[in-house]
Structures are given as structure tokens and as C-alpha cells.
Structure 1
């Protein structure tokens, strides 16, 4: 940083997003930032929902495919709420709730292992290419062998969260989307966040990538495994708006009136993988993990998560700062288009917070 830049202070995060859209890094984006569970927020929206004549201006109310934010907005809080009620325990063996989860070493895999990505399951498999329907693909997930002993390595795993979604369904006695609605979305008042958005809402949904020979997906989940499971899964499938996610961070993770118990919130944001090769809470990514999109400027007490489509969240329970950045970067193709944008935005938010309270 030059002396002139230092005197000017940290950049405006909204200007960074505006520039990224103007330079073609992402087609559209919504950024919301704030501090604590109450008080003012800053909202900015730029770009279009798609290239060409089908695109509409992005607004704060544009709906995005949240991709893997599903893990921390739907599945993680649903599991924690069930744990708070005693319907399950985090250290339950997975087989207690999913008897079909059988094979070498699987008796030792717990719900906590799945939440902290330390189960020993592989990161990804193309289950969508298997013949049959959703039941056949779920059977294949259950049958997938471990690659490592549970609790010995950290490997970010979609498979683990597909299983967590099935645990939520099994324990609650209802389909995953209905369980998430009852346990998470309704208690928090997240009216614009849901699985399987209706067809008449697709015009306000940011488009993602076009499959080979097809049109860009708009209102149909981008993740092929989630789509092949009927659009509802524990690892992906949720759609939502930036204001809803801002409310989620504030009401669920930063408010004393959270539907989650203080113990569950504390555990989820605390390192669960000490001594292993990754930094994970329960669901959340912590600073220093290979998938950390916040460091080096974000507080070390913070947590966050990203989604493949170009979405991300971050919060810090100590300082209270938080960021919602939703983009449809994958509309331009698969690649790390949003990676650097996330880092500079989070750095700017953190540095501006430090300056304001210096």
C-alpha cells in the first residue's frame, strides 16, 4: 500500500464489486455488509442476471442459486436444532440414523465427523451419471467406501452433507425441504429462501451455467448431483436472496434471540479439527483452512463458507462484522472467478471496521 492509499483509507467494498462487474469478472452481484445483529447495513447491487436479452438488472431482491451455502444455511442449522431438542446427538454414529451406511470403518463415523468434514469420505463423486432415480443415487452415497479413517484428515465432502440431509429427514420424519422449512426458514422468517423455486419466479433468478448444448440454468439447481436427487439435498439446492442471508447471519448467529442454543452456536464456530490438516467448525470454514476465502485480513475468530456458483458468507462473532456476497460467476463458466473478489472484499470490510473503531 502506498502512502497516498494509506491516507485514503481502505477501499469501499461496493466499489470493488462494481469494478468486478464492469470488468466482466462476474455478470451480476449483490453485496450486503454490516456489524452485529442490529443497526444499519450497506447494500449494493450491480450487473445483470444473465448475458444477452434475457438478462435483467440485478437488484437486492434477485434470487441466486446458493450452491454450497446450502450446507450452512439449511443443513447445519437443521442438524443443530435437532441436537438442541435431543432428537439426535452430534456424537451419534451415522448408522444410528442411516442403517444403510455400512462398510469398513463406517461404524465409527459420527454426525460430528460429517459436519466437520473429517468423516474419511471422498470429496465428490458423479452420482448423477448413474442409472436409475434419486433412490439409486442415495443408495450409492450410502455405499461409498471411506478413503481415510474417520477423524484423521479433513476433506471437504459433498457426500457427507448429502448424508446429513438424509439424517435430518430421517430424524424429523419428513422430506428434507419440509424439515428445513420447519426448523430453519420459518423460525427465522426467510421468506425468499427455499428449495425448488416455482417456475413463475425464474425470471428474477440469476442464471448459472449452460449445460452442453443447452440454455443457462435459471431456477434449476446448478449442481448436477443435487439436480439428480430431485433438486433437494443437504449439500446444495437452496435458492435465496442477499437480504434473507443477511438476516440469517444476524438472527441465527449474532443475536441473543437465535433459534439455536448458545452452546450449538459456540460449537459450530469453534475449531473441531485440531491437529488435522484443515480448520473446520461444524459446517463452517474457519481461518487457515484450504477453503478459507476470508484471510489474511479477516479476524481469526471468524467463520465463513462459499458456494460454487459464486456465493459466499462470512461473519465474526467477536467483532460482529459480517458479509454476504452473492454472484452468479459460474454463468461465465467454471473457474475461480469469484475467488479474488471475495478476498479483496473481505479485506476491505475488515480494514474499514478496524479504521472505524481505531
Structure 2
């Protein structure tokens, strides 16, 4: 069965976002919806910055702090590339690459455990308050202890992806940002996707909380120098459309085999539905509303970003907002994401 997207119905997205911006629930947004390589809807709304006496309009070229989309846009494809290259296996113990992680409790933790958030690690820790240098923080991450036994439950963990970033460096001999640039972003033509953007790009970057522009919002990532496996990546919509197109098989990078493996539910017997990095349908972190296909996967970022795609039908949606600009407690984006995905799904005409 095939489908098309009713562009008239997609216009309802604009009305909803304009109301949210007028009510100051979010300052602005860039939204795109498509199928495969075809972009059916791509619009921008509101402001990239709208506080402290400063106002900048949002544009289609605005660059966003992706927050935890870093996990699936940088760290995940780097790990999958190393699997494709034959350098690592999903069931390799993390301690094979990070000797400091080897003790009786942690020796059983594998790459798969980290990718599926069932390693038993705590969600996060305020390393930026505990240590004064990136080197000290990285050492602490490598020594991080267990919360619970692996494979008991899924519990979303920034620390797991911090460790995966360390694995990329240990195996490849390159820092995460360099490996991601050489093996992921450059091959896909993602020319404006990067960690630690230069000041020359700041005028295009959406401001996050406290008026931060071009400096990563996540405090741990900032304390690590702006590069981490869990956060720190910046990108515009056009680059992310290229990235999601790769996941749908339209751009060469990862093998078909590893892409199929990544979008499977690896935790069906636990309390969540997790692929490799990706969130599967009906997980507690699933942001795709009520109407998307059961084969959909996605991910969100704390700053107000999200990406979702269905590998079976080719449907995809990317929402970029600077939701935290009005304060991190408001989080209007959580409910808004579901409503926007419902609008996109309601525009599908099955044929």
C-alpha cells in the first residue's frame, strides 16, 4: 500500500505553531515533513531569539543546538560505522575499549546495553559541578559505577552515550567530533553540522536558555569542551533532512543490514521499547503521537528538537524549536510534538 501527503492538511501545522508562538509557549520553530527524498512541507515560524531586548526572526537556515539528538545524529552512526567496518561488535564488553570500566559489576556491560539504555547506569550526574577540567570529567565517566544490574529495565542515560563517545575515540584513534565529521557529516553533505560552531556562525544559531548562542546548552557537554557523545551537536534543518534520507536508504553511508538492526525493538521484554539509539513506538519517550505507524522510530532533544521516521513507509518529520529559550521548566514542546505528529499523520492519504 502506498500513500501521498495532503499538503492542504499539512497547512494546519502552521496555524498550531503560530498560536503557540503568540502565546509565548515557544519562541519559534522550523518544521519539515516528507516521504523518502521528497520534502512535502518545510516552513519556519517565529523567532530564533526573542528575549532581553533582542529579536531575530527564525529562518529555514537557522542552526539549532540539537541537545540529545546528538546521540542519534553523531554518536549512533559513528558506532554503527565501526560495526560495519568490523572493528566492534554489539556484544563486545565496554571494558574491552575502556579498561577503567572493568570490574566485577561492570564487566558484563556491552555496547548493546549502552545503545539500548539498559546498562543499569544512572540517567546523569552533574559532572560540571564536581570537576574542574574536561580531563577529570572524562576520567570520572570512565569510572562511573552501576545503578542496577544490566537488562533489568530501560532507563535513559546520558552517561551511557558519553561512554559510547569514549569508545569511538578509543577504537578509531580520533576524537568523536573529528570521526563524525569525516565519516558521517562530510559524506552526507551536512556542511553546517558540527560541534563547537565558530563565532562566524553565531548569527544563524537559535538562542537557547540564558541567551546562549553557539555555546552548548547542556552543562556537562559545555564542561567537556563542547564535545560529548550525549549532547553538543549543532545543525540546520537541511542537513537533518539529508541525514534522515540516509536512514531511509536514499544516501550511501551505513549498510542496509546495520540500519535494519538499529530500528528493531531490542528491549521487548523490558519496560521500554528501544532500538539501537532510537526510541520505538509506545516507549515512554515516544513523541510521535497517536497516529504514526508501529514501525516508526525517533528521538528528541531537551532544547526542543526531534526527529522521527518510519522505515517501512518512508514517512518522516523533523521539528526544531528553541523551546528552552523561555526557560527550561515550561516545556510546552512535550505536548506540542504529539499534536504536530498527529497533524502530519492525518495528512496521509492511503492509496
**TM exceeding 0.5:** yes
Give the corresponding residue for 2:225: 230
Q: Aligned partners of 1:15 and 1:320: how far apart in 2?
A: 25
The Cα shift of 1:13 comes to 2.1
Q: Aligned partners of 2:50 and 2:38: how far apart in 1?
A: 36
Give the corresponding residue for 1:47: 46
Q: Does 1:321 align with 2:321?
A: no
Q: Aligned partners of 1:10 and 1:134: how far apart in 2?
A: 45
Q: Is the 8 A contact 1:105 1:150 kept in 2?
A: no
CA shift digits 1:107-162 (9 cap, x unpaired): 10000110000111010110110133111111111222111111221000000000
Residue correspondence of structure 1 range 128-167 to structure 2 within 5 A? 128-167=128-167
Q: Is the 8 A contact 1:81 1:260 kept in 2?
A: yes
Q: Aligned partners of 2:276 and 2:234: how far apart in 1?
A: 21
Task: Give runs of ≥4 in structure 1 deviating > 3 Å.
Answer: 8-11
CA shift digits 1:4-33 (9 cap, x unpaired): xxxx96872233222222221110110011
- Unpaired runs of 5+ residues, structure 1, are 1-7, 211-215
Q: Aligned partners of 1:104 and 1:128: how far apart in 2?
A: 28
Deviates more, 1:107-116 or 1:13-22: 13-22
Query: 1:256/1:45 Cα in 2 relative to 1: closer, same or farther (>3 Å)?
Result: closer
Q: Does 1:350 align with 2:338?
A: no
Give the corresponding residue for 1:300: 294
- Unpaired runs of 5+ residues, structure 2, are 1-7
Residue correspondence of structure 1 range 64-143 to structure 2 within 5 A? 64-143=64-143
Give the corresponding residue for 1:253: 247
Q: Does 1:188 align with 2:181?
A: no
Q: Aligned partners of 1:32 and 1:61: how far apart in 2?
A: 12
Give the corresponding residue for 2:3: none
Q: Aligned partners of 2:132 and 2:197: how far apart in 1?
A: 24
Q: 1 or 2, which has the higher strand percentage?
A: 2
Q: Aligned partners of 2:266 and 2:304: how far apart in 1?
A: 26
The Cα shift of 1:256 comes to 4.6
Q: Aligned partners of 1:75 and 1:40: how far apart in 2?
A: 26
Q: Aligned partners of 2:181 and 2:169: how far apart in 1?
A: 12
SS of the residue aligned with 1:56?
strand
Deviates more, 1:304-313 or 1:14-23: 14-23
Q: Does 1:26 align with 2:26?
A: yes
SS of the residue aligned with 2:280?
coil
The Cα shift of 1:291 comes to 0.8
Give the corresponding residue for 2:5: none
SS of the residue aligned with 1:44?
strand
SS of the residue aligned with 1:49?
strand
Q: Aligned partners of 2:75 and 2:9: how far apart in 1?
A: 39
Q: Give the counterpart of 1:332 among 305, 326, 332.
A: 326
Aligned-residue Cα RMSD (Å) equals 1.4
Give the corresponding residue for 1:213: none
The Cα shift of 1:45 comes to 0.3
Q: Give the counterpart of 2:265 among 271, 278, 284.
A: 271
CA shift digits 1:145-199 (9 cap, x unpaired): 1111112210000000000011111111011110110111011110011000001
